[in-house]
Structure 1
Amino acid sequence: MNTAKLFVIDYALHGEPKSFIVRAETMDNAEAWHWASCDAGVGRIGRYGREKIKKISQPLAERYGITEVKWRLSR
């Protein structure tokens, strides 16, 4: 059974507001910062679900101009 949910992630890139939706089983602040980095072109999305990649942390994302990351469950 698929337990994935849709999450809305809002963030700012160099002060410009951005928003997108991602499907994931779980979400927390660390995941949201990583996904915001991927949307901004900084982070990397693994090719396969099993591929282990290094996630982008909040301090590293902030160095690239990503701020104000917030997430919520989509309706």
Structure 2
Amino acid sequence: MGGPSLYIIDYMLHGEPKSFIIRAEVMNNSEAWHWASCDAGVGRIPKFGREKVKRVSKPLAEKYGITDVRWRASVAPSWVKESG
């Protein structure tokens, strides 16, 4: 199954924990830092899927108080059928 997957990104903004879920084709540390900066209001989200925007790097994000960016794949819920 290809296509976008869901990822959870956790980070700190001026010492306060933040977390969000994002759907993306690819996720890596660089992408996570960029998307955390977008969530914090620093980075720019493209208006159109193919629009090229300048990515926010880790050093730039850190200047705005973004630290400890971590990401992980979201797991799909395991639905259990009720008996009865």
> TM tier, shorter chain?
over 0.9
Q: For residues 21-32 of structure 1, what are the structure 2 equivalents within 5 Å? A: 21-32=21-32
Q: State the shift of 1:2 in Å.
A: 5.9
Asked which structure has the greater RCO (Cα within 8 Å, sep 6+), the reply is 1
Distance in 1, matches of 2:41 and 2:2, equals 28
Q: Which amino acid aligns with 2:39?
A: D
Distance in 2, matches of 1:24 and 1:55, equals 15
- Structure 1 residue aligned with 2:80: none
Does the residue aligned with 2:32 lie in a helix, a strand or coil? Answer: helix
- Structure 2 residue aligned with 1:39: 39
- Structure 1 residue aligned with 2:73: 73
Name which one, 1 or 2, has greater alpha-carbon Rg: 2
- Structure 1 residue aligned with 2:63: 63
Q: State the shift of 1:58 in Å.
A: 0.1
Q: TM-score, normalised by structure 2?
A: 0.87
- Identical aligned residues as a percent: 69
Runs of 4+ in 1 over 3 A off after TM superposition: none
Structure 1: any 5+ residue segments left out of the alignment?
Answer: none
Q: TM-score, normalised by structure 1?
A: 0.97
- Structure 1 residue aligned with 2:53: 53
Is 1:7 aligned to 2:29, yes or no?
no
Q: Which amino acid aligns with 2:73?
A: L
What is the aligned length?
A: 75
